[in-house]
Structure 1
């Protein structure tokens, strides 16, 4: 079975699963509270997209306009925040739980990685780099010309 088929089945089954999850939550805490939780999740998704995702969306637009795919690949945290915001915006408890997992993973990743320095210097841990011997440089200058 190929990946596109599986993805299609997941997308088609998600609304049914979300309805079942809503029914289970509503039976547990009550219909009104379940509805309030759904609305709160969608509101949280709008806030995430507006505040945290806004900067990332602007950077994605600039990178797409410049054709710089490598800068998009380097900004995985921004893409995950946007994905979490979209998942929160979609009403449903399953998508909200997945979105919270994505947001928590980005928070832990952001704590682990130091913030970039303003002077453009990249600090690496000792296990992330090794010294490479300098190659012998060819002298491509004109042999009749003296270095000056």
Structure 2
């Protein structure tokens, strides 16, 4: 079976898995708490999408207004904490316990980056000119033997 068939099968099996998860949680906790959790996850996803989606739309508007003069397409990139926040919010907004759990796991990555920055352990971020500043213990010098002006011991001529 190719990947498309597996994805279609998983997409069709997801509602059954969500229903089974809800029935199991309702049997363990009761119907009202399980339903409250399901509604709470969906509302949290909507709030996250409204907050993060608004910022993403604003970045796209600014990029389009500037006419892409800088050739900076970060407003459209789906990687990084912004894209993960949107994906996590979307997964939370879809009613279901399995998608909600996956959405919470996806949201842990941007949360981890935000907490790392608050605790002083911010990951290195590239500046607009592409330079990444690292602490001295985070890098080591490796000379490229193909570059002119370097001999075998790494010193310039």
Relative to the length of structure 2, the TM-score reads 0.68
Q: 2:124, 2:134 within 8 Å by CA — same for their partners in 1?
A: no
**Structural mapping, 1:19-30, within 5 Å:** 19-30=19-30
Q: 2:125, 2:132 within 8 Å by CA — same for their partners in 1?
A: no
Change over 3 Å in CA distance of 1:48–1:74 after alignment to 2: closer
The structure number with the bigger radius of gyration is 1
Deviation at 1:134, TM superposition (A): 7.7
Deviation at 1:84, TM superposition (A): 0.5
CA RMSD of aligned residues (A): 3.4
Cα distance in 2, alignment partners of residues 83 and 49 from structure 1: 9
Which segment drifts farther, 105-114 or 82-91? 105-114
Per-residue CA deviation, residues 52-89 of structure 1 (Å, 9 max, x unaligned), is: 33212433565588676852347421111101001000
Cα distance in 2, alignment partners of residues 91 and 114 from structure 1: 36
Change over 3 Å in CA distance of 1:70–1:120 after alignment to 2: closer
Cα distance in 1, alignment partners of residues 129 and 94 from structure 2: 40
Q: Alignment partner of 2:133: what SS?
A: coil
Structure 1 alignment gaps of length 5 or more: 137-148
- Determine if the alignment matches structure 1 residue 104 to structure 2 residue 114: no
The structure with higher relative contact order (CA 8 Å, sep 6+) is 1
Runs of 4+ in 1 over 4 A off after TM superposition: 60-70, 114-121, 128-136
**Structural mapping, 1:38-117, within 5 Å:** 38-60=38-60, 70-71=73-74, 72-73=76-77, 75-110=79-114, 111=116, 112-113=122-123
Which segment drifts farther, 101-110 or 82-91? 101-110
Structure 2 alignment gaps of length 5 or more: 117-121, 150-157
